[in-house]
Each structure stands twice: as structure tokens, then as C-alpha cells.
């Protein structure tokens, strides 16, 4: 069955570059980002994991843990990490899951479809994980899912922006508009009546339409 937003993220045990983990226990009371890459020792993946290593402190400030995954064994991850540091200037300090049996990849639907007309099952071309991202809350529920093709590197600044939005909207009864960035105006959630909004936002709001109530970022 396909995973959906608000589903409990499937729990699993796995070997990582930082030893064995039980996923839910590892998350603890934090937010978490589980992201897969197709293959170690490949160019796009090298840039992605290097960038995540660079901005990990930003996620840490947001109480958000990072964990990577591919179908490669842990030993390969550890050797490849040296290449990442050498070429990208940052050594991944977050754990990377080794998933050579595809157990976690299948659990999270991270594999591409089988090639049309193939009767032999998966081939080398589709036996690697696509570029999936799962943001998981402290309640262990999936908050966001993104999937990119193998040839397209992700914009992890966008993942950071989304975490900011989700943490803000989880704490306050607001939603964030298109292209929102922290500090910019937000929208009062549609579930909040005008009567309740007056209590929550005593400074008032702009309303070009009754359903579009714009207020300042509560954290600003």
C-alpha cells in the first residue's frame, strides 16, 4: 500500500554508518528527514550528500535529524564519505543506512517501476533507489514526501524552508502562502473563525477576500 501524508512512518531496524538503529527510537522527540540516493560513488549523489553535510547545523537548530539511505552496504558509505569531504568540503556526520536487501527501500516505495517488457525482474538500472525525501514529525507521522528522478539533484534549501513552514504551522493556527520564507506574512488557517481569530491575532489582519486573511509571521 502506498504511503500517504499523516500515515505513521514505517518503523524498521537497519545498519548505518553509526551502528544499528531502530528508526522510531532513533527519531525520539525530534523531527527527522529520511532521504535516499541512487548509488554511492556517483556524481550527483556526491554533491547532494556534501550539501546536506554543509547545512546539517541548520536542521539541528530546528530539532531535525538527518539520515540517508541507498542500496549500498555500510562499508561503501564509509569509504565514499571521504570522497564527499574531499570534493565537497564537508564530511557527512549524519548516519547513512545500508540497504542492500532493499528492505527499507520497498517499505518506503523508493524503487522505480520495473522496466517495461522485462521478465527477469529488476535490472541494474532500476535496482537503485530514486531520490526520495520523507519529513517525519516527533509523532512519527509523515509530514511531507518528495520524489525526484535519478538524474535531477534536489534543492535541499527547499526542504529546510518546508521544515520551517511545518514547524510554524504546527505551533500556530496559520498556513504559509506561495514561496513563503521565514519572517514573511502568513495566512490565518481556514479552520479558524473570525471570532477566534480576533483572540489569536488581536492586532488584526488584512483580508482582500473573506477567506484570505493575512497576518504577520507569529514568530516575527
Residue 71's nearest CA partner among 151, 153, 150 is: 150
Task: Tell me the C-alpha distance between 66 and 33, whole Å.
Answer: 5
Phi/psi class of residue 38: alpha, beta or left (left: φ > 0; alpha: ψ in -120 to 50)? alpha
- Are the C-beta atoms of residues 3 and 132 closer than 8 Å to each other? no
Task: Tell me the C-alpha distance between 55 and 57, whole Å.
Answer: 5
**Residues annotated as catalytic (active site), given as ranges:** 45
Task: Tell me the C-alpha distance between 88 and 92, whole Å.
Answer: 10
What are the grid coordinates assigned to 180, written together? 513563503
Amino acid at each position: 500500500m502506498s504511503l500517504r501524508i499523516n500515515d505513521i512512518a514505517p518503523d524498521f531496524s537497519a545498519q548505518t554508518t553509526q551502528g544499528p538503529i531502530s528508526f522510531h527510537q532513533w527519531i525520539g522527540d525530534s523531527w527527522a528527514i529520511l532521504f535516499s540516493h541512487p548509488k554511492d560513488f556517483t556524481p550527483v549523489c556526491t554533491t547532494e550528500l556534501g550539501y546536506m553535510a554543509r547545512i546539517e547545523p541548520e536542521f539541528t537548530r530546528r530539532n531535525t535529524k538527518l539520515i540517508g539511505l541507498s542500496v549500498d552496504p555500510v562499508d561503501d558509505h564509509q569509504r565514499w564519505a571521504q570522497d564527499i569531504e574531499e570534493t565537497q568540503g564537508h564530511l557527512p556526520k549524519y548516519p547513512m543506512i545500508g540497504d542492500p536487501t532493499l528492505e527499507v527501500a520497498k517499505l518506503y516505495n523508493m524503487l522505480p517501476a520495473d522496466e517495461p517488457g522485462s521478465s527477469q525482474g529488476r535490472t541494474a538500472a532500476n535496482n537503485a533507489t530514486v531520490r526520495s525525501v520523507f519529513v517525519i514529525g516527533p509523532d512519527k507521522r509523515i509530514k511531507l514526501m518528495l520524489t525526484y528522478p535519478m538524474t535531477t539533484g534536489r534543492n535541499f534549501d527547499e526542504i529546510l524552508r518546508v521544515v520551517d513552514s511545518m514547524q510554524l504551522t504546527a505551533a500556530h493556527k496559520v498556513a504559509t502562502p506561495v514561496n513563503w520564507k521565514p519572517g514573511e506574512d502568513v495566512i490565518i488557517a481556514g479552520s479558524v473563525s473570525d471570532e477566534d481569530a480576533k483572540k489569536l491575532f488581536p492586532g488584526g489582519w488584512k483580508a482582500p477576500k473573506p477567506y484570505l486573511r493575512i497576518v504577520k509571521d507569529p514568530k516575527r
